[in-house]
């Protein structure tokens, strides 16, 4: 059951698709308090209560014990102390205390979540706007709460099937020749690959929807050659539009008044990669339609996917902010500056980027037509950019799916695109963070997601990349991406490339299962990645386990995330079959009992656990998605009797998807120590099933 409570004058966010009527009675469970405009909701916590949710954020899957703040930020240090990342996903689920309760705070402004931080026995959620909608979700299980929430917010975005292939990316690929080299580097060595991202350097002077004539003289021809190699190019689009006379996007945006404005009505200017830039007012439907239509310039050249960046929006500086800092410095000239002056000066300059004052200095148009100061609706900016892109493509090519993933998001954007987890670092702790964010993002509707494999900032090490690929094999978005001036990170740069290649072979062999599970979750509003608590709520050890995740209905994963480890501890909440994988052809099948285990895993090995009584389909590997034969499948599992799996598949590109039409039941009958498998139109091998 979902109940809605309105406070003040809520701003329409587009997060939900079917709002129940607001309740007249006061909000139960929470104690309310006001201080100026801000409205706080507090709730006592019992000692062992869990709090799940908050989508993209640092720390654990259980968010209890820290203070988080929804205020989207271009934050490249995802350390434990960061309260905000790029997204705001204001869902909390209280579990294991006196109540089982989901709460969604639908508020596009700053919201603070003090979850047992100030006081260990209390959660206090504070809306700075004080104008918001609160949805209470009460069901009898964690799964049911998330399912009800997902029905409230509408269906998750569905990417094309090729987007489940391995994608190589790097900030610094400058020209066509370099892209061709990267593709050759993979194809020559038979390292699987389906896409290459084009970062900001493909553009002419970082102008959105332009292509550098010098470095990419013939994009349509390049796209066509790449298609011949079964590769898609995926260009980046930034939020800021370069201020430049004669640049048509800028000229048209100015002429039609499409950009965010300052208090005096003149267009707001902030500096990002193109230098001084304007920011489209994505809250406006007409602006979204206009911006979204621009993507067609690239799809008409043969592009089928995009990533949207810098859409918090990131601001390096505003002319006013920079001027004020310089004035401050000048006022100190000639003074015999002491330590305090020095620290003050340093802090003035280090706070120019992403300055809260800048977010208060411009205005947008809310859906009700009223002018609203940006900071009150800040967390919608990236979401509405993704919506512009998604709706633009729906209008332009309604029958085809396109790949979209965005850096910034708000709940609601999950209907239009996926997200990547932003500028992580080549740290082992960020491999674990990648894993922990997966289920939280899934709860909030973001199913197509993954992190920069190998790490974005800092120099990776080959063992880190190898172990990270062993996690990336399971994440829908599987992209290796690295920052400018970091060590080369393509697989073929490393001595361990054969091991890495073997890991990738598993991705393609698992594709029928991963795609099937993804699509079933997208079409039925379920989570593909789940904390163990969702499946084993009565098992306290399982509930407190955060470095293993349930994957789809049949599996559990437990990646190695420590350097020099040659194995790890795994807790099995029930008997499972461990598939110790080295490659798609080379693996061990080991039945294991419920309980604690230490599992040996050499550098090139990683485990996948299949619940006893279940099986998964495993294909022959391939070097690109379209080459995977999803009809020729080996079944892997541990059975003592009959079992079944519903395999979903489709053409991978059409927007007309139907669960019923896509499902093929696979049945295994076990009799006299023999297994026989059947499934219409499928060639199935039952010889790898472990029977007892
Ligand atoms: O300020 O386009 O998160 O993936 O490579 C950095 C350059 C801008 C941030 C993105 C990252 C991308 C980078 N961008």
Which amino acid residue places its CA nearest to atom 5 of ligand 1?
171
Q: SS3 for 618?
A: strand
Q: Which of 681, 623, 622 is nearest to 649 (CA)?
A: 681
For residue 336, the model assigns a pLDDT of 82
**Whole-angstrom distance, CA of residue 428 vs CA of residue 460:** 10
Q: Is the CB of 287 under 6 A from ligand 1?
A: no
- Ligand 1 pocket test, candidate residues 86, 173, 199, 277, most atoms within 8 A of CB: 199
- The rounded Å distance from CA 407 to ligand 1 centre is 9
Q: Is the CB of 309 under 6 A from ligand 1?
A: yes
- pLDDT higher than threshold 90 for residue 627: yes
Q: What is the pLDDT of residues 100-117, one digit of tens each?
A: 999 999 999 999 999 999
For residue 368, the model assigns a pLDDT of 85
Q: What is the pLDDT of residues 55-64, one digit of tens each?
A: 999 999 999 9
Ligand 1 nearest atom to the CA of residue 452, by list position: 4
Q: Is the CB of 171 under 6 A from ligand 1?
A: yes
Q: Is the CB of 238 under 6 A from ligand 1?
A: no
Ligand 1 nearest atom to the CA of residue 76, by list position: 3
Ligand 1 nearest atom to the CA of residue 456, by list position: 4
Cβ(134)–Cβ(508) below 8 Å: no
Q: What is the pLDDT of residues 423-453, one digit of tens each?
A: 999 999 999 999 999 999 999 999 999 999 9
Q: Tally the C-alpha atoms within 13 A of residue 17's C-alpha that lie toward its C-beta.
A: 14
Tell me the two tokens of residue 147: 């399912």
Share of the chain above pLDDT 90, in %: 98
Ligand 1 nearest atom to the CA of residue 481, by list position: 4
Q: SS3 for 347?
A: helix
DSSP string, 398-434: TTB--EEEESSEETTGGGT-EEE--S-BS-HHHHHHH
**In whole angstroms, what separates CA 529 from the centre of its chain?**
12
Q: Is the CB of 407 under 6 A from ligand 1?
A: yes
Cβ(212)–Cβ(203) below 8 Å: yes
Ligand 1 nearest atom to the CA of residue 422, by list position: 3
Cβ atoms within 10 Å of 372's Cβ, excluding its own: 18
User: What's the mean pLDDT when you consider all of the chain?
Assistant: 97
Q: What is the pLDDT of residues 317-337, one digit of tens each?
A: 999 999 999 999 999 888 888
- Ligand 1 pocket test, candidate residues 75, 277, 309, most atoms within 8 A of CB: 309
Q: What is the pLDDT of residues 278-296, one digit of tens each?
A: 999 999 999 999 999 999 9
Identify the DSSP state of 165.
S
177 burial via Cβ count (<10 Å: 0-12, 13-18, 19+): exposed
Catalogue all structural domains in the chain, each as residue range(s) with its CATH number.
2-153 (2.60.40.1760)
Q: Is the CB of 423 under 6 A from ligand 1?
A: yes
Tell me the two tokens of residue 671: 């009799």
Which amino acid residue places its CA nearest to atom 13 of ligand 1?
171
Ligand 1 nearest atom to the CA of residue 170, by list position: 5
For residue 183, the model assigns a pLDDT of 98
Cβ atoms within 10 Å of 42's Cβ, excluding its own: 17
- Ligand 1 pocket test, candidate residues 198, 205, 236, 426, most atoms within 8 A of CB: 236
Which amino acid residue places its CA nearest to atom 11 of ligand 1?
423
The mean pLDDT value for 218-235 works out to 98
- Ligand 1 pocket test, candidate residues 171, 317, 452, most atoms within 8 A of CB: 171
Which amino acid residue places its CA nearest to atom 12 of ligand 1?
171
Q: SS3 for 526?
A: coil
Give rounded-to-5 percent helix, strand, coil for the chain: 30, 30, 45
From start to end of 289-439, where are the E strands? 305-309, 362-365, 371-373, 403-406, 409-410, 418-420
User: Is-above-0.95 flag for pTM?
Assistant: yes
Within 555-681, residue ranges assigned H as helices are: 659-662
**Whole-angstrom distance, CA of residue 543 vs CA of residue 557:** 15
Q: SS3 for 687?
A: coil
Q: Are strands 403-406 and 418-420 parallel, antiparallel or unpaired?
A: parallel
DSSP string, 204-223: STT-TT---TTTSTTHHHHH
What H or E segment, with its residue span, contains residue 646? Answer: strand 643-648
Cβ atoms within 10 Å of 595's Cβ, excluding its own: 12
Q: Which residues contact 487 (CB under 8 A, 6 or more apart)?
A: 459, 460, 493
- The rounded Å distance from CA 273 to ligand 1 centre is 10
Instruction: Supply angle C-alpha 590, 595, 600, rounded to 5.
Output: 45
Q: What is the pLDDT of residues 472-531, one digit of tens each?
A: 999 999 999 999 999 999 999 999 999 999 999 999 999 999 999 999 999 999 999 999
Residue 344: band (very low, low, confident or very high) from pLDDT cuts 50, 70, 90: very high
Identify the DSSP state of 200.
G
φ and ψ at residue 93, rounded to 5 degrees: -130, 120
DSSP string, 436-456: HHHHHHHHTT--SEE-EET-S
Q: What is the pLDDT of residues 188-208, one digit of tens each?
A: 999 999 999 999 999 999 999
């Amino acid at each position: 059951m979902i109940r809605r409570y309105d406070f003040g004058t809520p701003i329409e966010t587009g997060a939900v698709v079917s709002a129940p009527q607001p309740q007249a009675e006061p909000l139960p469970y929470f104690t309310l308090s006001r201080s100026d405009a801000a409205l706080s909701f507090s709730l006592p916590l019992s000692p062992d209560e869990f709090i799940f949710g908050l989508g993209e954020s640092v720390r654990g899957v259980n968010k209890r014990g820290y203070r988080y703040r929804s205020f989207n930020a271009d934050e490249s240090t995802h350390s434990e102390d960061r309260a905000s990342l790029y997204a705001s996903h204001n869902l909390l689920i209280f579990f294991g205390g006196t109540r089982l309760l989901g709460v969604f705070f639908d508020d596009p402004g700053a919201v603070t979540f003090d979850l047992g931080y100030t006081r260990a026995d209390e959660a206090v959620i504070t809306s700075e706007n004080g104008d918001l909608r609160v949805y209470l979700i009460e069901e009898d299980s964690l799964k049911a709460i998330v399912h009800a929430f997902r029905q409230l917010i509408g269906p998750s975005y569905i990417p094309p099937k090729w987007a489940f292939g391995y994608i190589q990316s790097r900030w610094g690929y400058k020209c066509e020749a370099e892209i061709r080299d990267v593709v050759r580097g993979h194809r020559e060595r038979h390292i699987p690959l389906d896409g290459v991202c084009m970062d900001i350097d493909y553009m002419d002077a970082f102008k959105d929807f332009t292509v550098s004539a010098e470095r990419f003289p013939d994009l349509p021809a390049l796209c066509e050659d790449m298609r011949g190699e079964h590769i898609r190019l995926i260009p980046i689009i930034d939020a800021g539009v370069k201020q430049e006379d004669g640049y048509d996007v800028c000229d048209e945006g100015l002429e039609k008044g499409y950009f965010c404005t300052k208090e005096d009505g003149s267009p707001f200017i902030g500096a990002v990669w193109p230098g001084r830039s304007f920011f489209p007012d994505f809250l406006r439907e007409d602006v979204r339609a206009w911006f979204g239509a621009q993507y067609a310039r690239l799809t008409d050249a043969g592009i089928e996917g995009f990533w949207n960046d810098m859409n918090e929006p990131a601001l390096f500086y505003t002319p006013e902010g920079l001027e004020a800092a310089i004035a401050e410095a000048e006022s100190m000239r000639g003074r015999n500056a002491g330590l305090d002056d020095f620290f003050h000066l340093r802090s003035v300059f280090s706070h120019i980027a992403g300055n809260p004052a800048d977010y208060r200095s411009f205005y947008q148009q809310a859906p009700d037509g009223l002018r609203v100061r940006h900071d009150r609706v800040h967390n919608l900016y990236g979401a509405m950019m993704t919506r512009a892109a998604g709706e633009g493509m729906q209008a332009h090519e309604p029958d085809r799916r396109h790949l979209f993933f965005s850096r910034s998001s708000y709940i609601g954007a999950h209907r239009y695109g996926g997200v990547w987890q932003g500028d992580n670092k080549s740290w082992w702790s960020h491999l674990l963070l990648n894993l922990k964010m997966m289920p939280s993002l899934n709860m909030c509707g973001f199913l197509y997601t993954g992190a920069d494999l190998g790490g974005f900032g800092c120099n990776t090490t080959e063992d880190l990349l190898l172990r990270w690929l062993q996690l990336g094999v399971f994440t829908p978005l599987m992209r290796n991406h690295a920052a400018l001036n970091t060590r080369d990170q393509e697989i073929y740069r490393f001595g361990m490339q054969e091991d890495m290649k073997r890991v990738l072979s598993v991705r393609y062999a698992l594709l029928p299962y991963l795609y099937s599970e993804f699509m079933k979750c997208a079409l039925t509003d379920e989570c593909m990645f789940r904390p163990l608590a969702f499946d084993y709520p009565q098992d306290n050890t399982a509930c407190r386990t955060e470095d293993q995740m349930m994957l789809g209905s049949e599996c559990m994963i437990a990646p190695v995330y420590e350097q020099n480890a040659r194995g790890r501890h795994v807790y099995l909440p029930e008997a499972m079959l461990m598939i110790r994988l080295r490659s798609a052809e080379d693996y061990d099948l080991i039945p294991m009992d419920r309980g604690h285990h230490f599992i040996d895993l050499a550098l090139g090995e990683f485990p996948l656990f299949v619940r006893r009584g279940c099986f998964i389909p495993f294909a022959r590997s391939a070097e690109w998605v379209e080459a995977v034969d999803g009809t020729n499948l080996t079944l892997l599992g541990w059975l003592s009797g009959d079992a079944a799996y519903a395999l979903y598949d489709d053409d991978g590109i059409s927007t007309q998807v139907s669960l019923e039409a896509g499902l093929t039941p696979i049945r295994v009958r076990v009799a006299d120590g023999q297994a026989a498998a059947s499934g219409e139109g499928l060639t199935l091998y039952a010889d790898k099933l472990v029977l007892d």
